[in-house]
């Protein structure tokens, strides 16, 4: 309908597992797997599927999960019965193993399958990049950046990103990991803190004590020891509430532009957590779909292969719009879609009829007060540029 055709000269693949959607973290839990189906529907509604290779992904095997996670942890994740949940509530003192079964990382029916599906999508995407069948591979079901090798954390049980990057490292010398989720990408940063073959860079809201996970300060650049090749290969961009498209875009381009110059990555892994959008249930920023998508657009200008993962995102209709828009960036039809997506959403008609608001060009809702001064943002850029003096490809 919108005349969406394949991009010229490169291939984009979309990796999706429809069986993730029926999984539930619990009624009140902010993580809603149906946002993945919502995204896929929007992508298909615009005909974008005709411009990509579409794969229904397989589940990751135990051995594949074991490439990062310990057997102890995986065995417990596999066996832990959700039936134990009521007992936990009766006995709040009962120890929670591997941080499983609390309110952030509940045990639910089919948990292990759900995790294997998420990791399977990301791993399939990485393999397509490795064997050059794809130049941009999209896995919105992945992006679960907090999981540690023996611990669940912040809605994340299996770190599909780490597993996918380990796959990329088999075929490429250097991987640049970029994380635009509103939370710090601590699990990925930690997993690669002793190698100079992966440089991680997270942009996030930073307020230790009050905002999860509390790590990722400006001076956190990886363990600084003489013998650690990974020193200086963690870059963190700590931000305050209310940052705008304009500020974020400037920051992103100067930080990532410089990293690209110094580190010379062979491939990019971009975590597109959509909780950095305005109006997110957990987030604090004021990014619009266009500003969020501009990050993917800028990364694409480097002309190297790229995986795009999902991640956070707790206002499902906005998550779907952002990831559908970013899919359009990948296949180079964002100019066409740009005009359509922001205004033409399945909810527009309803909202207009109800006269709730006349246009969906902007994510509506009370914008948050912007607590990011130009001076502070300039200091951040300065610090990052200084850090990068120690990084050489």
Q: Which residues bind Ca ion (CB under 5 A)?
A: 179, 181, 185, 202, 204
* Site map (CB under 6 A) of ligand ZLS, residues 313-342, x = contact: ------------------------------
Q: What b/e readout covers 58-95, taking b as 16+ CB neighbours within 10 angstroms?
A: ebbeeebbeebbeeebbebbeebeeeeeeebeeeeeee
DSSP bridge pairs for 12: 136
The yes or no reply on residue 28 touching ligand ZLS (CB under 6 A) is yes
CA distance 298 to 5: 21
Is 184 one of the catalytic residues? yes
Q: Which is nearer to ligand ZLS, 305 or 312 (CB)?
A: 312
131 binds ligand ZLS (CB under 6 A): no
HSE-CB at 290 with a 13 A cutoff on CA atoms is: 15
CB-neighbour burial class of residue 160 (10 A; exposed 0-12, middle 13-18, buried 19+): buried
Residues binding ligand ZLS: what is the number (CB under 6 A)?
19
CA–CA distance, 280 with 312 (Å, rounded to integer): 10
Segment near Zn ion (CB under 5 A), from 259-267, 310-318, 338-346, 375-383?
310-318
154 binds ligand ZLS (CB under 6 A): yes
Q: Report if residue 212 touches ligand ZLS, rule: CB under 6 A.
A: yes
39: tokens are: 């995204």
CA distance 24 to 33: 7
For residues 147 and 384, which CB has a smaller minimum distance to ligand ZLS in the complex?
Answer: 147
What is the distance between the alpha carbons of residues 287 and 247, in angstroms, rounded to a whole number? 10
283 binds, among Ca ion, ligand ZLS, Zn ion, none (CB under 5 to 8 A by kind): none
Q: Which stretch binds Zn ion (CB under 5 A): 32-40, 200-208, 268-276, 323-331?
A: 268-276
CA distances from 258 to 39, 104, 210, 252 (A): 32, 36, 31, 10
Q: Does residue 275 bind ligand ZLS (CB under 6 A)?
A: yes
Q: Which of 52, 144, 168, 337 is close enough to bind ligand ZLS by CB under 6 A?
A: 144
Q: Judged by CB, which is closer to Ca ion: 23, or 145?
A: 145
Helices and strands counted in the chain (H then E): 13, 8
Out of 183, 184, 204, 232, which one is annotated catalytic?
184
Structural contact between residues 329 and 137, judged by C-beta atoms closer than 8 angstroms: no
Residue 273 makes contact with ligand ZLS by CB under 6 A: yes
Residues in the site for ligand ZLS, rule: CB under 6 A? 28-30, 103-104, 144-146, 154-156, 181, 183, 212, 273, 275, 282, 311-312
Q: What amino acid positions are annotated as catalytic residues?
A: 184
Residues that bind Zn ion (CB under 5 A): 181, 183, 273, 275, 312
């Amino acid at each position: 309908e919108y005349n969406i055709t394949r991009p010229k000269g490169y291939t984009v693949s979309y990796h999706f597992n429809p069986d993730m959607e029926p999984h539930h973290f619990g009624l009140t839990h902010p993580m809603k797997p149906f946002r993945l189906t919502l995204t896929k529907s929007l992508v298909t509604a615009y005909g974008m599927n005709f411009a990509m290779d579409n794969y229904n992904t397989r589940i990751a095997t135990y051995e594949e999960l074991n490439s990062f996670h310990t057997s102890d942890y995986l065995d417990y994740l596999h066996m832990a019965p959700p039936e134990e949940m009521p007992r936990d509530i009766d006995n709040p003192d009962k120890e929670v193993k591997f941080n499983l079964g609390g309110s952030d990382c509940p045990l639910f029916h089919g948990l292990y399958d759900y995790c294997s599906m998420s990791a399977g999508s990301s791993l399939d995407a990485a393999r397509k990049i490795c064997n050059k069948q794809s130049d941009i591979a999209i896995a919105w079901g992945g992006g679960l950046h907090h999981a540690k090798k023996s611990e669940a954390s912040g809605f994340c049980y299996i770190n599909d990103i780490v597993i996918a990057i380990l796959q990329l490292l088999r075929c490429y010398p250097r991987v640049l990991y970029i994380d635009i989720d509103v939370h710090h990408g601590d699990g990925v940063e930690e997993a690669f803190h002793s190698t100079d073959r992966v440089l991680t860079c997270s942009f996030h809201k930073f307020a230790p004590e009050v905002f999860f996970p509390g790590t990722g300060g400006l001076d956190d650049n990886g363990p600084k020891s003489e013998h650690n090749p990974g020193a200086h290969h963690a870059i963190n961009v700590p931000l305050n509430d209310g940052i705008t498209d304009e500020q974020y875009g400037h920051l992103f381009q100067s930080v990532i532009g410089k990293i690209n110059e110094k580190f010379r990555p062979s491939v990019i892994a971009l975590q597109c957590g959509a909780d950095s959008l305005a109006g997110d249930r957990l987030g604090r920023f004021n990014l619009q779909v266009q500003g969020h998508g501009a990050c993917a657009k800028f990364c694409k200008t480097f002309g190297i292969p790229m995986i795009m993962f999902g991640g956070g995102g707790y206002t499902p209709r906005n998550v779907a719009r952002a990831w559908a828009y970013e899919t359009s960036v990948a296949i180079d039809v964002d100019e066409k879609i740009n005009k359509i997506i922001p205004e033409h959403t399945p909810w527009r008609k309803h909202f207009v009829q109800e006269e709730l608001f006349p246009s969906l060009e902007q994510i509506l809702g009370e914008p948050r007060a912007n607590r990011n001064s130009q001076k502070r943002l300039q200091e951040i850029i300065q610090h990052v540029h200084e850090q990068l003096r120690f990084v050489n490809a």
